[in-house]
Chain A
Amino acid sequence: MFELFAYGDTGWGDEILRGLAITIQLAIVTLPVGLFLGFLVAFASMSKLRALRMVGFGYTTIMRGLPEILTLFVVYNGVGLLLNMAVRWWNPEADAIDFSPFAAGVVALGMVFGAFAAEVLRGAFNSLDTGQSEAGRAIGMTPTQVFRRIQLPQMWRFALPGLGNLWINMLKDTALVSIIALNDLMRMTKVAVGVTKQPFTFYLVACLIYWAMCVLSELVLARMERRANRGIRRV
């Protein structure tokens, strides 16, 4: 049975590892995109402007309520459509551009991650001790300085557990991109199943790989949480 997973032409080990590499790449590229979006939306929902607050609230509510696969299809089909319309409008002779599945995956997963992250970040921001920000203002720091030097470093501690869960969810959601033909772990498994006719064996291996990644992430996150809380006195 192990020869099925041999590395090289005789087995599927190398194909599956290449798929795994795409899955990990996708997750790692999506993380900063989602975090950036999360910060933007969190700021919008805490803004003094009512309109911006509404935008933030609307975005988080809608994105959290939709199935991830629907978001992915909307982005893959819709953004591609919009992009081509924009290009044609600007230059009617331009060739149709392809919206790559990888980019669609990053945008869709990043949008979902951003919506959930915005709520986590907002919660973390609200758990901060306001006295410290006030002290910062009192000694003449600008709001930007207060944010960068006082609030941001401490937010991390409150946000880490929530963001860790989101990372694990996103890692699992990357499996969805196999539907829009990105050669990730899930799709390479499907290809292997098509040839070997051993669906249970191969999907079980894929599950075990995802499982291993999640357990590893949990271990790393636990360490990061311990480190983030190292200065906090325990009661």
Chain B
Amino acid sequence: MNPMDILLQYWPRLLDGTLMTIKLTLMGALIAGLISPFLALIRVQASPIAQAPLRLYVSFMRGTPIMAQLFLIFYGSGQFRPFLQEWGLWSFFRDPFNCALLTFALNSTAYQTEILRGGILGVPRGEVEAAMAIGMSRAHTLRRVVFPHAYRIAWPALGNEVILLMKASALASIVTVFDLMGRTRQVFSRSFDFSVYLWAALIYLGITAIFVLLWWQVEKRLSRHIAPHQTSRKPVKETQA
């Protein structure tokens, strides 16, 4: 079949899958974004012993395939079914969407924590001292001085992390979530037309491109107090373990 016909015939499915991919990615990134600032603070300020469990968590999340993490949560929860049923949590773990979202949120929290930690460490000590000198409280200093600057430093790397999460969200299709990848596989198994994979690739690239543009706009806004030639338009490459 002509690639165009495939698109005309199956576009509602692909659109549905695209929306699911965006939903999974944004929700996962958002949940992680809400938790990571607190964890990053612990990573910066707490005593080494208090940090140990957190470091173990981050190392585990970065050292194991996200697919294995997904299976551990989705299939692994079955082993504790009686227990989960007793606590009324079974209906949560039975749904592949919830398990995928939980996995992605947990995974992204680890990465975002490390990125934000780098951002907080990048805030010049003098800014914090100045804030204390004019009598700001600790919480006030964090909210008004440390975090705004830390987020500006971490912004490009956070954007890379969201893109990585978007790519990883394709794994949800393995546990039968109908995201873009899942819909694509479904269409392929019906039509045996290879071009649907190429359409999926185009859509993924399109999502990435739009996201990168939006992220730049925010970065520009976050950096509007800095002379334009100092802002790097290119996202800083994230080092990932």
Spell out A's residues near B (CB within 8 Å). Answer: 61-62, 65-70, 73-74, 77-78, 81, 119, 123, 161-162, 165, 168-169, 172-176, 178-179, 186, 190, 193, 197-201, 203-204, 206-207, 210-211, 214-215, 218
Contact A200 B65 (CB under 8 A): no
- Give the residue of B62, B166, B194 whose beta carbon is less than 8 angstroms from that of A78: B194
Q: Interface code B177-200, partner A: CB below 8 Å = 1, 0 otherwise? A: 000010011001000001001101
List the B side residues contacting A165 at CB < 8 Å: 239-241
With A172-B65, A200-B76, A203-B71 known to touch, is A215 a contact of B205 (CB < 8 Å)? no
Stretch in B32-40, B117-125, B167-175, B223-231 touching the partner: B167-175
- Tell me the interface secondary structure of chain B in the complex: helix
Question: Do residues A200 and B80 form an inter-chain contact, with CB atoms below 8 A?
Answer: yes
B76 with A65: CB separation less than 8 A: no
B64 contacts A by Cβ under 8 Å: yes
Instruction: Judge whether B241 and A203 touch: CB under 8 Å.
Output: no
CB–CB B68/A69 < 8 A: no
Instruction: Give the chain B neighbours of A179 by CB distance below 8 A.
Output: 174
| Minimum C-beta distance from B55 to chain A (A) | 12
Chain B residue, CB-CB nearest to A179: B174
Contacts A/B (CB < 8 Å), 30 sampled: A62-B201, A62-B205, A65-B163, A65-B208, A66-B201, A67-B166, A67-B168, A67-B169, A69-B174, A70-B181, A70-B184, A70-B197, A70-B201, A123-B237, A165-B239, A168-B63, A175-B67, A176-B67, A197-B79, A199-B71, A200-B77, A200-B80, A203-B72, A203-B75, A204-B76, A206-B68, A210-B63, A210-B65, A214-B64, A215-B63
In the complex, the answer to whether A207 meets B170 with C-beta atoms within 8 Å is: no
Query: Could you say which residues of chain A place their CB within 8 Å of the CB of B66?
Result: 172
Q: How far is the CA of A207 from the CA of B76 in the complex (A)?
A: 12
A82 to chain B, nearest CB (A): 9
* Residues of B close to A207: CB separation below 8 A: 60, 64, 68-69, 72
The verdict on B204 contacting chain A, using a C-beta distance below 8 Å, is yes
The smallest beta-carbon distance between B174 and chain A, in angstroms, is 6
B79 near A198: Cβ-Cβ < 8 Å = yes
B64: which A residues are within 8 A, CB to CB?
Answer: 172, 207, 210-211, 214
B contact residues around A69 at 8 Å (CB): 170-171, 173-174, 181
List B contacts of A161 (CB < 8 A): 239
**In the assembled complex, which residues on chain B have CB atoms less than 8 Å from the CB atom of A198?**
79
Considering the chains assembled together, what is the distance between the CA atoms of A174 and B66 in angstroms? 11
Q: Does the CB pair B76–A77 fall under 8 Å?
A: no
- B72 in complex: contacting residue of A70, A204, A214, CB < 8 Å: A204
Contacts of A168 in B (CB 8 A): 63, 241
Chain A residues with CB under 8 A of B239 = 161-162, 165
